[in-house]
Structure 1
């Protein structure tokens, strides 16, 4: 009885969070980013390679990336020095934080961007390392969508293997994963300077999160576990 009551409360919390996100879609944005592998940095904060945002209301996408910045600056992104990388990453993050300031009143929906390894804090730390002054997005405007799903459907809503919860959930729901790289593939793409592939993967993942949100809203999302009412 206690478990059922607790479950009902948790599900209600998840549905309320979803309601907040969808209350004004024109003031909500989905964010995802790609970065250097955590494993090969030897404790150094991973370099950010691309950041993509998708407006929930219009489905328009805004993106920033090292490879785009290199083209803007007339650089050959296949032959960048470490100083070039730093300068281009700094410019990319300059633009991202300008975007963040202009959208400070938006709701920011993300997928596991929670800590200093991977998340808003990791991006901010990279920017500070490069000499920038990060703009802090209010915590109450950040929505970790896996947490919302966990509250609504229980945390067994999807398995982590073989491709991670996001891609597994997309495949379960026939949402295209074309161009979306797995974690190891993203790390390899960075090491092999395949920045365009990383950028396309990031774009695809904001599209996937957007599609998942839409299916939850329509009560059409297929999950591994059935919601307990």
Structure 2
């Protein structure tokens, strides 16, 4: 148990160090999120990338890449896009995205669970390769999975998964607007229904939510669904950290220590005087 509690504080420090690193390099930090087709009923085909949004924390500007924007650029009727046209538009969208990546490859890329070939940077790269492109890869040292970092700080049960997923549930807990944000299956349905604007607005909103969560964590103001005991552990060091990070508990602790010190002073003086008398 002692080893586990020690690891808990080590993990917390590691997570906090990452947040501090991002805070200090705010001008070179990007927030990314994307949406895609449903993972089901594709007969083995990889899900199409539908919309990518990136927010630059240095200037607060958001860059959007989406199939529906490409359709408008190429004067396509949104109601009647064929699969072949979708392939072409997706490829053009991903071409622009990877040109952006090439210009910002050494920035910090903060994301939400974009870490495998099903959903992540690799999945985006695979789609571009399938369509005939060859995109610039972002080195792992520049990728920062925010829920992974929050898991280190607060344990991985920092928020419930149901009913809307950790991202949207955490947004609601911290009173962050989730207007226009959709859960994954609703985003996929929006694409199937050709409701491209709705899909784009959801992706954009989630980028704002991730940015706001990171900001709150940088200020030590993020509220999570984990108890203080689980966050810090039950070691003396963990208990001290609990007290140190809560001004009310720290005040009470200071008063108790002061009271004990004041009460013990006459006893110490008496013992000291007795010792001197003996000499």
| TM-score bin, normalised by smaller chain | over 0.9
User: Which residue in the other structure is 2:11 paired with?
Assistant: 10
Per-residue CA deviation, residues 59-86 of structure 1 (Å, 9 max, x unaligned), is 2100100001111111112110111101
User: Which residue in the other structure is 1:22 paired with?
Assistant: 23
Structure 2 counterpart SS, 1:78: helix
Q: What are the equivalent positions in structure 2 for 1:5-84 lying under 5 Å apart?
A: 5-84=6-85
Partner Cα distance (1:72, 1:104) in 2: 26
Partner Cα distance (2:17, 2:140) in 1: 17
Q: Quick check: 1:160 aligned with 2:171?
A: no
Partner Cα distance (1:57, 1:166) in 2: 23
Moved more, 13-22 or 146-155: 13-22
Partner Cα distance (1:224, 1:36) in 2: 30
User: Which residue in the other structure is 2:87 paired with?
Assistant: 86
Instruction: Give, in angstroms, the shift of residue 185 of structure 1.
Output: 0.8
Structure 2 counterpart SS, 1:94: helix
* TM, length-normalised to structure 2: 0.81
How many residue pairs match? The answer is 229
Instruction: Give, in angstroms, the shift of residue 179 of structure 1.
Output: 0.5
Instruction: Give, in angstroms, the shift of residue 102 of structure 1.
Output: 0.2
Structure 1 counterpart SS, 2:31: strand
Partner Cα distance (2:193, 2:30) in 1: 30
User: Which residue in the other structure is 1:221 paired with?
Assistant: 222
Moved more, 39-48 or 145-154: 39-48
Instruction: Indicate the structure whose relative CO is greater, using CA pairs within 8 Å and at least 6 residues apart.
Output: 1
Gaps of 5+ in 2: 233-237, 239-279
User: Which residue in the other structure is 2:117 paired with?
Assistant: 116
Structure 2 counterpart SS, 1:224: coil
Moved more, 151-160 or 187-196: 187-196
Gaps of 5+ in 1: none
Partner Cα distance (2:161, 2:60) in 1: 27
Per-residue CA deviation, residues 124-164 of structure 1 (Å, 9 max, x unaligned), is 00000000011111011000000000001111100100000
Partner Cα distance (1:40, 1:207) in 2: 31
Partner Cα distance (1:216, 1:41) in 2: 38
